[in-house]
Structure 1
């Protein structure tokens, strides 16, 4: 049974890669598609923060991708060995050993400045240069070999490369399948405190009645924190709502200063760690205390900055962590408790050192649930003269597509189900964030890659105030997905030689801005494709986008340049003539009546309030009417904002001034519309 399940998993993986490669460029670029799917599995398993596919191969070295943490302290390097045979295929140990050897060789050469011998236009140059730039901050490197074959490898001990610790990690078909089918993609972290500390940890213990948890209070020496982070890294912080923040803020600087200058005051100044776990091994001492031996599924839900700062001080500043005492609260989620619900609430309550907009990043967010329901019930129009209709499958959680496919027991039934739900019409949460942010003219955010783009998308969604998608939003979102994927194919055909992801998002953001978002999304949905005229214009835009992103000022790293808002600010002003055929296909804007001179408003207002009212009053009525119609045509802004725009237009037409509150909101609405390309 297990072998059969593994074969099905291998076949699904093969088809996913082929489908995604076909969606990019007629079956090509399979290695890149394979790499990106592997990164998704590892992200969902919370093994990595993210991955950037980037291929380089030379004499004795080879690499398929990388990712550097925000603080430049941790580097992940990847090498993929795709088989794509759709069945269980062994990979020789010699090939695995050679892969690790070549990956390590690439690391060593990059640290020695290999980028200086590479052409700067190549993606491999950016990867090698990024490693070189981070060389003085790096304290740990993880080498990942990823394959859809089955492989066995002897334990590879960690090594030191100068002051950098290098560890090796193999993910083969069996490990991927185990992770994705275990019910919890993440491999639980187990901590042996007796081993790390040399003895059990003495703790105060309490179990509130009916709470579904018990709490332990303890003091951990900094050396235990360092060893925990050395073994597991950012995986310790998966449920920490602030784990994605950089370790360079004022709070971290203060922690570091205390560690370096006043280590004896660390206990007094630091709030410590809040930890959750679902399994503790303890020994009752009979006096209200317990001896903690080990913990399973351990997570630091508050104290990521403290953890990272102690580890960094130990590795980079050579501080003896034994001298640091860290207060710790460990909450064990008992069998009648729900770790996925309790842990985030603990994290949200405990995280008050930095201001954070708390958003629910889980797949159970109401937005994702509603979008999923729409994807299951909405039929897409038939294409290419066919009568057959299909659906776009939104995968709210990893594996939903394959689970739904598996509900069809016979090959004929599976084929029929796939005909309705083509793999190339499956999109994930991170896909959706990328599509939406590109059209929202945030290409610099999209260029920060999947996880950061998704977090930003959810943060903005949360700020929007409980927005729940409807059928109109779903159809337009899928139209934006169609545009994005068709643009990927267009860019790939031009063989620019790299940076396709950045070129695609910058091209679509420019199109969105310079058409004021008036591309007819309903037409794209109806045709399930861009028009020939629009596709041809996107090709033109992409050549300009390529020229822009690959020529950063001052010889900057292209990848880092594209992440900067200034990069977008400059490209946004690029003039590219919009062809008449494209212009004719844009949505029209209603025009209001002519402007009338407003009259003064009395009342006790602050100078700033009066200036805001005066500025909004000066806006012609036709601008407000046009903005309201534009927002309706493009499905931008919220209904109340469109309504207020129309009301402001009526006030301007009647030569009346708005209230303070109307003016305040109107100023923000107009600024946001203009950011998105609206022109009166």
Structure 2
């Protein structure tokens, strides 16, 4: 085993042990949670519900996770191969086939009315089978993913694997090596290597459209609809990693128009459709027998504009197998970017390619200055020492996947130990978790229950609007409250996982936790005019015994209420995703203590604290801006080049920058304001001013 693979294995087991400790779950459930989360973030599947069900002996089956994507009519199923051994094991092709065949047998079983009718509605087997049974006539594609902490001998790609019940199947594998590579990528999309010549049964003719600029090369392609559908059918949302405006459903006018053109005027598709914009980190070209140039393979393909077109073509094909795509061609502008510049250039191409349709900042939220601000606060703001500890530490805000691991691994052993003391592993929060905590305390548990992908976009849109309206709200007090919410949520999640009443029926824990906290927040506000004292939670870096017992008194009542859904509800998990569920839960009169003074604040007290924090934030920003102005003269060239290439300069900001470059920092008020606006626009475009501000 290589040194890198040995380190990957050690990191995985460390992650698993921490997950078990943090959640109170058993190792197989913690393994599923970790791998399913990475698979969903990477685009291999949508957010999966844990539904461990298996039957051994002849004709046995197994499914560990399920989700139905109503927007694409795709069924996602996961099967786990969790190895208890801490030595790295290898999985072979025969084992792979065996696992996928067990999933297929479950599908065949789940569509039988007698099987579903015999199941207890709260059982994992019912939760796995019912989405298949209920949607069997809607399913247009089945995506299976094997999650395993073993090592696959050869690198795998998504594979079309025939049909079941007349529905096409795509198989995918997430083994330990691939899992580790995704984590190490720190949020960058996993490279997609497409053998165009094999899929297209020959090279794809192309026309060089731009001489090499040293940064990129450009090609124009008439892409066959059949090929585009096949590529999207295999890789799905991974193709749209950089284009968050991915196709959702064929209900808007533009999507209906695309599908109508495919069905009724396929030969005119090239003329009627605007086409797609794509990027790649490399291509292989070959001379065509008929003359000209052809593309035989593409590395790291990303569709940055044209997600609706791409998905509509596959939708039309899946929805009606008689659809003929042989006359459908899509114009594609393909920019081939130097690999080292992909992360910098591709987001800009996506941004400018989408200016034809208004795109909100939420669409590019992973680079939003909100994350930059939270990251900055987390690096400088020490948390009070925990009970029994004399040293303070910090909470690490991870705005890109693997950021903590990367920082932890850099430097000498002494430096790594110092880093881990300053930023303990259990004090890492990422942007998706922040969304979950904020929406829970915002009394939106039904959104949280819809899964990470959907609730994060809801959170992104809300915070994007709030940031535009009043940035000063995102200050130290906001960050402390955010951490306090994380402490409350995580502690309740662990306590529920350890509770005897939960161990008797390990279902709906995630829904129970978010609904429990949301109910308490709602109850305090409506009945008492108060809210939780989150500053106390921050100062104590934990929950008081009174607050912990209050929550643990409410949790089983919430769990029982969720299970006692109206008789028309067949799937409690789906019911929890609906606002009608929250409307029913929030008005219930659960038994709670009336002694809340030490745990809560009056709303007026909380509002005054926010006002004071906002005022302090404005002062801090002015001081920080003045410090930045002192540093700009030495960096004026880099700043000017960045702003010009992205068309961010206004006449006043250009004049202000020229003044600063001459060493004059006493700007007139109009130029000072213009410079502030330029700094904000550059930050939103990804420029890091932090490196110019001394610690």
**Is the contact between residue 89 and residue 149 of structure 1 (CA under 8 Å) also seen in structure 2?**
yes
Which stretch has the larger CA shift, 82-91 or 112-121?
Answer: 82-91
Looking at structure 1, the residues matched to 369 and 558 of structure 2 have their Cα atoms a distance apart, in angstroms, of: 36
Which stretch has the larger CA shift, 258-267 or 216-225?
Answer: 258-267
The equivalent residue for 1:548 is: 561
DSSP-derived class of the 1:382 partner: coil
Alpha-carbon offset, residue 543 of structure 1: 2.6
Matches within 5 A, 1:184-223: 186-207=189-210, 212-223=215-226
Unaligned runs of 5+ in 2: 617-695
Looking at structure 1, the residues matched to 598 and 29 of structure 2 have their Cα atoms a distance apart, in angstroms, of: 37
Q: 1:587 to 1:182 in 2, by over 3 A?
A: closer
Which stretch has the larger CA shift, 29-38 or 173-182?
Answer: 173-182
| Number of residue equivalences | 599
Looking at structure 2, the residues matched to 199 and 287 of structure 1 have their Cα atoms a distance apart, in angstroms, of: 12
Say whether 1:485 aligns with 2:499: no
The equivalent residue for 1:30 is: 27
Alpha-carbon offset, residue 94 of structure 1: 5.8
Q: Deviations over 1:397-447 (max 9, x none)?
A: 22222223323644x875665455333222222111111111111111111
Q: Deviations over 1:290-324 (max 9, x none)?
A: 43343222122222222222222223312343343
**Is the contact between residue 378 and residue 395 of structure 2 (CA under 8 Å) also seen in structure 1?**
yes
Which stretch has the larger CA shift, 114-123 or 350-359?
Answer: 350-359
Say whether 1:52 aligns with 2:52: no
Matches within 5 A, 1:148-163: 148-152=149-153, 158-163=161-166
The equivalent residue for 1:522 is: 535
Looking at structure 2, the residues matched to 374 and 86 of structure 1 have their Cα atoms a distance apart, in angstroms, of: 37
Q: 1:305 to 1:474 in 2, by over 3 A?
A: same
Looking at structure 1, the residues matched to 186 and 381 of structure 2 have their Cα atoms a distance apart, in angstroms, of: 28
Q: Deviations over 1:22-52 (max 9, x none)?
A: 1112xx4222221121123324434334333
Q: 1:5 to 1:112 in 2, by over 3 A?
A: same
Matching residue within 572, 576, 598 for 2:586: 572
Matches within 5 A, 1:99-114: 99-113=99-113, 114=115
Alpha-carbon offset, residue 536 of structure 1: 2.0
Looking at structure 2, the residues matched to 465 and 379 of structure 1 have their Cα atoms a distance apart, in angstroms, of: 24
DSSP-derived class of the 2:394 partner: coil
Alpha-carbon offset, residue 639 of structure 1: 7.1
Alpha-carbon offset, residue 165 of structure 1: 1.8
Alpha-carbon offset, residue 160 of structure 1: 1.2
**Is the contact between residue 14 and residue 84 of structure 1 (CA under 8 Å) also seen in structure 2?**
no
The equivalent residue for 1:452 is: 454
**Is the contact between residue 83 and residue 149 of structure 2 (CA under 8 Å) also seen in structure 1?**
yes
Q: Name the TM-score, length of structure 2 as normaliser.
A: 0.78
Say whether 1:503 aligns with 2:508: no
DSSP-derived class of the 1:321 partner: coil
Q: 1:85 to 1:523 in 2, by over 3 A?
A: farther
Looking at structure 2, the residues matched to 428 and 551 of structure 1 have their Cα atoms a distance apart, in angstroms, of: 34
The equivalent residue for 1:674 is: none
**Is the contact between residue 72 and residue 134 of structure 1 (CA under 8 Å) also seen in structure 2?**
no
**Is the contact between residue 272 and residue 328 of structure 1 (CA under 8 Å) also seen in structure 2?**
yes
Q: 1:108 to 1:11 in 2, by over 3 A?
A: same
Q: Deviations over 1:234-257 (max 9, x none)?
A: 222222221163344333223223
Looking at structure 1, the residues matched to 76 and 258 of structure 2 have their Cα atoms a distance apart, in angstroms, of: 26
Q: 1:94 to 1:321 in 2, by over 3 A?
A: closer
Alpha-carbon offset, residue 477 of structure 1: 0.7
Matches within 5 A, 1:108-147: 108-113=108-113, 114-147=115-148
Looking at structure 2, the residues matched to 421 and 86 of structure 1 have their Cα atoms a distance apart, in angstroms, of: 26
Q: 1:342 to 1:157 in 2, by over 3 A?
A: closer
Alpha-carbon offset, residue 482 of structure 1: 0.5
Say whether 1:632 aligns with 2:632: no
Say whether 1:533 aligns with 2:546: yes
Looking at structure 2, the residues matched to 101 and 635 of structure 1 have their Cα atoms a distance apart, in angstroms, of: 60
Q: 1:635 to 1:131 in 2, by over 3 A?
A: farther
DSSP-derived class of the 2:453 partner: helix
Q: 1:519 to 1:634 in 2, by over 3 A?
A: farther
The equivalent residue for 2:645 is: none
DSSP-derived class of the 1:322 partner: coil
DSSP-derived class of the 1:62 partner: strand
DSSP-derived class of the 1:587 partner: strand
Alpha-carbon offset, residue 87 of structure 1: 4.2
Alpha-carbon offset, residue 331 of structure 1: 2.8
Q: 1:6 to 1:336 in 2, by over 3 A?
A: closer
**Is the contact between residue 211 and residue 337 of structure 1 (CA under 8 Å) also seen in structure 2?**
no
**Is the contact between residue 244 and residue 364 of structure 2 (CA under 8 Å) also seen in structure 1?**
no
**Is the contact between residue 104 and residue 143 of structure 1 (CA under 8 Å) also seen in structure 2?**
no
Looking at structure 1, the residues matched to 611 and 108 of structure 2 have their Cα atoms a distance apart, in angstroms, of: 51
Looking at structure 2, the residues matched to 364 and 472 of structure 1 have their Cα atoms a distance apart, in angstroms, of: 22
Say whether 1:65 aligns with 2:79: no
Which stretch has the larger CA shift, 539-548 or 436-445?
Answer: 539-548
**Is the contact between residue 221 and residue 321 of structure 1 (CA under 8 Å) also seen in structure 2?**
no
Alpha-carbon offset, residue 96 of structure 1: 4.4
**Is the contact between residue 43 and residue 236 of structure 2 (CA under 8 Å) also seen in structure 1?**
no
Q: Deviations over 1:556-609 (max 9, x none)?
A: 42222111222222222223355222245311244xxxxxxxxxxxxxxxxxxx
The equivalent residue for 1:226 is: 229
The equivalent residue for 2:661 is: none
Alpha-carbon offset, residue 271 of structure 1: 2.1
DSSP-derived class of the 1:158 partner: strand
Looking at structure 2, the residues matched to 296 and 220 of structure 1 have their Cα atoms a distance apart, in angstroms, of: 16
Q: 1:348 to 1:319 in 2, by over 3 A?
A: farther
Looking at structure 1, the residues matched to 514 and 186 of structure 2 have their Cα atoms a distance apart, in angstroms, of: 34
Looking at structure 1, the residues matched to 495 and 5 of structure 2 have their Cα atoms a distance apart, in angstroms, of: 36
Matches within 5 A, 1:210-609: 212-243=215-246, 245-282=248-285, 290-335=293-338, 338-351=341-354, 356-359=359-362, 361=364, 363-407=366-410, 409-410=412-413, 417-466=419-468, 467=471, 469-492=474-497, 493=499, 494-495=501-502, 496-516=505-525, 518-553=531-566, 554-576=568-590, 578-590=592-604
The equivalent residue for 2:650 is: none
The equivalent residue for 1:16 is: 15
Looking at structure 2, the residues matched to 200 and 96 of structure 1 have their Cα atoms a distance apart, in angstroms, of: 31
Q: Deviations over 1:339-366 (max 9, x none)?
A: 3344334334444787653425464432
Looking at structure 2, the residues matched to 397 and 147 of structure 1 have their Cα atoms a distance apart, in angstroms, of: 24
The equivalent residue for 1:600 is: none
RMSD (Å), alpha carbons: 3.4
